[in-house]
């Protein structure tokens, strides 16, 4: 028997605002969050929260650093980490939250089953 899901505070159900902001579930589900530092995660969430529909943000580094309580060096390191992870693009002063990279192929999936069936049928690779 599953857990019944219903809002805890029904009069506060989140709605997508006209200015739009979101984070793809795959960010957590596909493990993209796992290798990131705390500062990288904070910067990614901040940029996702303030970005427009195209993922663009013009917040300045001074403002971002102050709001996230990061030094300029910590912000620069977090930005480099997110760029290296292919999660954001940066061309001063513009940040862009990128669409997530395609999911990695899963091992043991349909291709593995297909290979087993071919071998059972006598085909050799």
Write the pLDDT tens digit of every residue in 24-75: 888 999 999 999 999 999 999 999 999 888 889 999 999 999 999 999 999 9
In the predicted model, what is the mean pLDDT of residues 19-26?
Answer: 76
Sheet with 88-91, side-by-side order of all strands: 56-57, 94-97, 88-91
Q: Where are the domains of the chain?
A: 17-97
pTM score of the predicted model: 0.74
Write the pLDDT tens digit of every residue in 108-123: 555 566 666 666 776 5
Provide the CATH topology of domain 17-97: Arc Repressor Mutant, subunit A (1.10.10)
Mean pLDDT of the chain: 85
d(CA 95, CA 110): 38
For helices 61-68 and 72-84, what crossing angle results, to 10°?
100
What was the pLDDT predicted at 7? 80
Supply the DSSP symbol for 115: H
């Amino acid at each position: 028997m599953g857990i019944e899901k219903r809002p805890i505070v029904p009069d506060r159900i989140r709605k997508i605002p006209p200015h739009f902001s979101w984070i793809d579930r795959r960010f957590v589900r596909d493990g993209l969050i796992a290798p990131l530092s705390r500062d990288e995660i904070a910067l990614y969430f901040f940029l996702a929260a303030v970005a427009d529909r195209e993922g663009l943000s013009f917040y300045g580094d001074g403002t971002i650093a102050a709001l996230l309580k990061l030094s300029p060096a910590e912000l620069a390191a977090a930005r480099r980490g997110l760029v290296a992870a292919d999660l954001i693009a940066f061309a001063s002063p513009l940040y862009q939250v990128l669409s997530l990279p395609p999911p990695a192929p899963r091992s043991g999936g349909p291709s593995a089953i297909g290979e087993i069936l071919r071998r059972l049928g006598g085909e050799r690779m």
